[in-house]
């Protein structure tokens, strides 16, 4: 980024505090996110078969999943992440193998055997295998979900060899509910909604605090205006705050007030 469009120096920031990327450094604890994190961690640590995390658009599902991955020791966990599951059932299985670092063979039976061998080897070494499927509502067909369900059939007498974590928008809950054999396999369910007004204020303060010692850039009135405009949706909060900081630097402001928030918000 060139200096003429970089507001970090103007506000004394070490980094951009409201970039819309799933950087675990900017995970901000709040009740619902922490509860979801604890339930998912529990499901993974106790080797449940299938877990489900849903959330409204822009409410931090992907960021939570990256924090979850970051909290799992690579010595104890073998993790595969499928970020774009909008694939045919066969392609989805190939992508799972690819994310586990395996080269798919031609036959489906061969691919499943290859994966089973990897999971068995992990178990022998005391390593838990985890498959995280982000944006799972994009899975094209019911058969794609069936392929994932069948992966939980890899088991020992006392444990699943693979924990599958499905993450997606609220419609994912309905798709799962309409597949009884899959729905019955879900051992842990969690959901993320928008931040409350109080959580929005804490979220903004925490993200600013990561980037700078100064956390009073946004006035209380500005924070209230941002909540009103975004309704507590994290992705929208990030976009509005980012543009307010840029606009404020252009206008040589010493703080972001509600009037600037209103003006910038009209352009989003």
Model confidence band, residue 44 (pLDDT cutoffs 50, 70, 90):
very high
Pairing verdict, β 162-168 and 128-133: parallel
- For residue 3, the model assigns a pLDDT of 43
- Number of Cα atoms under 13 Å in the Cβ half of residue 8: 14
Using a pLDDT cut of 70, give the percent of the chain over it. 98
Q: Who's near 264: CB < 8 A, 6+ residues apart?
A: 240, 243, 244, 247
Q: Among 26-30, 190-194, 204-208, which is the least confidently predicted range?
A: 26-30
CATH of 31-192, one of 3.30.70.270, 3.30.565.10, 3.40.50.150, 3.40.50.300: 3.40.50.300
Q: How far apart are CA 167 and CA 142, in angstroms?
A: 16
Model confidence band, residue 5 (pLDDT cutoffs 50, 70, 90):
low
- For residue 259, the model assigns a pLDDT of 96
Model confidence band, residue 2 (pLDDT cutoffs 50, 70, 90):
very low
- For residue 197, the model assigns a pLDDT of 96
Q: How far apart are CA 177 and CA 171, in angstroms?
A: 10
Q: How far apart are CA 22 and CA 59, in angstroms?
A: 11
At residue 212, φ and ψ (nearest 5 deg) are -160, 160
- For residue 1, the model assigns a pLDDT of 39
Q: Which of 235, 210, 208 is nearest to 219 (CA)?
A: 208
**Mean pLDDT in residue range 25-40:** 93
**Mean pLDDT in residue range 135-145:** 94
User: For the chain, what are the domain ranges?
Assistant: 3-23+195-265, 31-192
Q: Among 98-112, 193-207, 224-238, which is the least confidently predicted range?
A: 98-112
Helix (H) or strand (E) holding 260: helix 258-265
Token pair 């909540």 is found at 227
Q: Decide if pLDDT at 225 tops 70.
A: yes
128: which 2 tokens?
């838990």
* 8-state DSSP, 229: H
What is the CATH code of the structural domain delimited by 3-23+195-265?
1.10.8
Q: How far apart are CA 147 and CA 108, in angstroms?
A: 11
């Amino acid at each position: 980024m060139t200096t003429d469009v970089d507001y970090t120096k103007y506000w004394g920031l070490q980094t951009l505090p409201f970039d819309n990327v799933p950087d675990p450094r900017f995970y901000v604890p709040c009740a619902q996110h922490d509860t979801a994190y604890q339930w998912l961690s529990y499901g993974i640590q106790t080797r449940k078969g299938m877990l489900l995390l849903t959330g409204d658009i822009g409410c931090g599902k992907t960021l939570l999943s990256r924090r979850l991955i970051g909290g799992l020791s690579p010595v104890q966990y073998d993790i595969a992440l499928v970020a774009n599951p909008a694939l045919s059932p066969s392609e989805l299985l190939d992508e799972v193998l690819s994310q586990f670092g395996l080269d798919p063979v031609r036959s489906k039976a061969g691919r499943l055997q290859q994966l089973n061998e990897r999971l068995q080897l992990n178990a022998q070494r005391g390593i838990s295998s985890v498959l995280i499927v982000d944006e799972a509502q994009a899975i094209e067909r019911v058969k794609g979900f069936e392929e994932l369900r069948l992966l939980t059939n890899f088991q020992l007498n006392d444990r699943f060899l693979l924990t599958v974590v499905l993450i997606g928008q609220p419609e994912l809950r309905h798709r799962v509910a309409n597949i009884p054999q899959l729905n019955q396999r879900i051992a842990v369910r969690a959901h993320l909604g928008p931040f409350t007004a109080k959580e929005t204020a804490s979220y903004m303060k925490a993200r600013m605090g990561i980037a700078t010692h100064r956390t009073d850039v946004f006035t209380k009135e500005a924070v209230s205006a941002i909540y009103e405009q975004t309704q507590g949706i994290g992705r929208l909060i990030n976009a509005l705050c980012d543009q307010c900081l840029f606009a404020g630097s252009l206008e040589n402001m010493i703080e972001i007030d509600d009037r600037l928030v209103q003006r910038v918000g009209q352009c989003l």
